[in-house]
Structure 1
C-alpha cells in the first residue's frame, strides 16, 4: 500500500483536488482520507468529459470510483454533505462510498449560524471566515458538548432534537444579546436574521431530520491498519494551506482553526504503525488568498495577463473576492514546507517520507513561476528545488485546475 499526503503550500486554493484526483485516476483501489477542517474546503475536479464538480467533503477523485474516509479529526457537516451527495449523483449517476470513524464529530446548524452572526457583527473588521461554523464547532467541543456521527446514527430523532436543544441552551445562546448589540452597531438598519434562527426551535427540528437522513449514506467503521491495507493507495486530502494553519502565528488572527499540514496525517498513521511514503505540497505558479488578512506581494490580477477568472473562488459575502500575489523568493517559497516537516519530527511515521512540490496553473504563466523580483521557468526551478533544497520530485501541471 502506498500512502500520500496532499497539502496546500500557501493560503489554500492551490489545486489540491486536482492532484488528489490525478492519483485516484491512476489507481482506482484508492481511499481518500479527509482529516482536517470540514465543509469549508472547495476542491475542483474536471474530468475528461468536462464534467466539473467542487468537492467539499466527498474525496476528490470519487469521480473515478474511489472511496472516502472522514477521519476523527475531520468535522463533518452532515447537512451540507447531504446536499453534496445529491449534487454528485446528479452529475455522475452514482453515490460514492463514504466511511467515517465512530468518533468523527459533526458541525451542527447552530455552529454555522453563530459563525455567520459573529462574522456579520464584526462589520468592516471581518476575519474573512468561510461562514461554515468550524471555529464555533471547536469551541463547543471545548465546552464538553460533542456530537459524533455514531450519535446521529444511534439516537432517535427525538433524542437527537433534545441534544441539539441542550447544546443551544448551554452554548449556542449564551451570548446572543451581546452579538446582537454588536451587529446592530456595525450594520445599522439591517435585520438580525441569524438571531431569529438561533431562537427558533423549528430550525433544530428540521436539521435533526436532515442529518438523520444523510447519516444513512455513511458506513461507520474502525479505520484500522487492516482496513487501510485493503487499498493499494491511501491519499490524505488536506484542506486550506500551510499559511493558514492554526499555529502559523505570522498571519494571526486570519487563520483556520485546524492543522493544515502533516500533523494529523503523521498522528493517524503513527497509531496504525504505517509509514507515510510521500508528502506532496501543492502551489500555483503564483499565490492567491480568498479572505481577509495579510498577503505579501499582493498585486492586481491584471498584472498576470494569462491568469483568467477563478471559477471556484467566486465573490461571496464571507470571503469577498479572491486576491493575487507573487511568491516572495525561493527561500520563502520552501520555508513553510521545511517548517511543517520539522513540526512532526517526533513521529516515526514520517521518518522516511519523501517531499515533493506540485506546481499548478503553469498554463496561465507560460511555464514560469512568478516571484517578487523575477520570473523563473519551471525547468530551472525544478532543478533548484531538487539540488539545493532536497525535494525528491517537482511536478508541473499545465492544464487548468
Structure 2
C-alpha cells in the first residue's frame, strides 16, 4: 500500500481538506507534517461543515489515525479547543498522535509576531500573527521548546528563561512593550500538558512501522507550494516546507517510501496576505469569484485575493513536487462566465517567461499572458462522470491538464463530500470512472 503526499499547488486554500476526505476510508494514517494553526481546512460532510486549523483533516474519518508530526509547530490552547469542539459534535479524537519532537508555540512568540508585523508597516509579510514564524526561527536558532520539554519542568523553565532573556529586550527596547514573566509562560505551557500526554509519542517510528505493515499513509501539507520557505514567492511565504520534500523531514519518513504525490489545484487562483499575484483581479470578476467561491480565510476570515487560473505556477508546482495526480477543485464556481482567461505565460518588461522567473523582482513585475477559453452556463454540481460535463467545461479541464503537464484525476463540482468526478484512482489504478 502507498505512502502519498498531498500538497497545494498555488498559495493555499485550494481544497486539500476535501481531497483528504475523498480518500477517507481507504487510508490508515493522515499526517500533518508542516505549519501550525496559521492555515485551515474546511471539510463538508452532509449538512455539517468542519473548519480545522491544527488537526489533520483525516480526524473526521472513522478508524483513521491522525498524526501531528515533528515538522509542525503547536499552539496547545488551539489544539485543545479543536479537540473539545470536535468531541462536542460527536467526533472521536482518541486516535490522535502527537510527535514528542514537534515544537510548541509559546505566548511570547505570538506577541512578537504581531508587533513585528505592525513595526514593518508597508513592508509587512502578511502573517496571521499566530507566532508561527518566530517559533520556526527559534527552532533553527536551537532555542525552541518541544512537546517533550513539557514533561521535564526543570528543562522547560531553563529554556523559557533563556528565551525571555533575549525576547524581553526586543519587546522593551525595540517595540516599547512590557516584558513577559517566566511564570506566565510556564503556566500556559503546562496547562494542557497532562491532557495531551497520552497522545505524545515517537510518530516517525510509528509511521515507518505502519508502512512496514503495508498500511496506507497520507502526508497532508499545510499551506502550499508558492508559500514554501525555499520554493515559494519569498519573502511572502510561510516559515516551513510546504512542498512534497517537506513530508520527509517533517515526518521522519525517507523519500524512498513515497509512492505518489497529489497536487490540489483550484480552477482559478487565490491568495491571502501580501506578495505578488500576477493574475489578481481587482474588479467585478474578482469580486464574483470571491462571493461565489466563498473565498474567505478558514483561519482568519480575511477575504482572499482572487484571480484567473495560472498554469505557469501549475507547471512549477508539478515540477517541484513531482506530481503524479491533480485534484482540480471548485470548477463549479466558474459556471455562468462567458469567457475564462487562463494565464499561460508572463510578460516581464517585454520578455516572455513560460516558466516561473527565478528572480524575485521579475516575478513582482510579471504581467499575465492569457489564452481565453469558452465558459458554460449549465449547472455541473450533479455531474459524476467527465462525459456529463458541458463540452466547454471538459475543454477547460483538458487545457489545464495539457498546460500544467499533470494528470487531472479528480474534479470538484461542488462543496459536498460526494460532489466530485473521479477520472483516475488516486491510489494508483488507471481505471477511468
Q: Same fold (TM over 0.5)?
A: yes
Q: List alignment gaps of at least 5 residues for structure 2.
A: 344-369, 375-391, 417-433
In the TM superposition, what whole-angstrom CA distance separates every residue of 1:164-215 from its partner, at most 9, and x where no partner exists? 233211x32232234325xxxxxxxxxxxxx33x424453143123231442
Distance 1:355-1:385 versus aligned 2 partners, 3 A rule: farther
Do residues 362 (structure 1) and 345 (structure 2) align?
Answer: no
Q: Distance in 2 between matches of 1:220 and 1:129?
A: 30
Deviation at 1:296, TM superposition (A): 0.9
- Choose between structure 1 and 2 for higher RCO, CA contacts under 8 A separated by at least 6 residues: 1
Name 1:21's counterpart in structure 2. Answer: 21
User: Deviation above 6 Å: which 4+ runs of structure 1?
Assistant: none
- 1:313-368: per-residue Cα shift (whole Å, max 9, x none)? 1695xx9531111123x444322321333xxxxxxxxxxxx611111111111298
Q: 2:169 aligns with which of 164, 170, 174?
A: 174
Who is 1:86 aligned against? 84
CA contact (8 A) 1:161 1:204 kept: no
**Local SS of the residue matching 2:169:** coil
Aligned to 1:397: 412
Cα pair distance change 1:314/1:5, threshold 3 Å: closer
SS in 2 for 1:117: helix
1:357/1:98 Cα in 2 relative to 1: closer, same or farther (>3 Å)? Answer: same
| Residue 308 of structure 2 corresponds to residue 326 of structure 1 | yes
Q: 1:108-160 CA deviation, whole Å, 9 max, x = no partner?
A: 221112111211222343210011212111222233213222221x224x653
Corresponding position of 1:240: 223
Distance 2:249 2:319 in 1: 18
CA contact (8 A) 2:103 2:135 kept: no
Count residues in correspondence: 365
SS at match of 1:144: coil
Report the TM-score when normalising by structure 2.
Answer: 0.75
Deviates more, 1:201-210 or 1:79-88: 201-210
Q: 2:74 aligns with which of 51, 64, 76?
A: 76
Alignment match, 1:190: none
Q: Could you say which residue in structure 2 is the equivalent of 1:254?
A: 236
Checking the alignment, whether the CA contact within 8 Å between 2:53 and 2:299 is kept in structure 1 is no
- 1:394 deviates by 3.1
Q: Distance in 1 between matches of 2:131 and 2:117?
A: 10
The worse-fitting range, judged by mean Cα deviation, of 253-262 and 240-249 is 240-249
Which deviates more, 128-137 or 229-238?
229-238
Pairing of 1:114-129 with structure 2 (within 5 A): 114-129=112-127
Task: Say which of 50, 59, 62 aligns to 1:62.
Answer: 59
> Equivalents in 1 of 2:191, 2:296: separation in Å?
26
Q: Is the 8 A contact 2:318 2:406 kept in 1?
A: no
Q: CA 1:94–1:270 in 2, change beyond 3 Å: closer, same or farther? A: closer
1:133 aligned residue (124, 128, 131): 131
The separation in 1 between residues aligned to 2:214 and 2:200, in whole angstroms, is 17
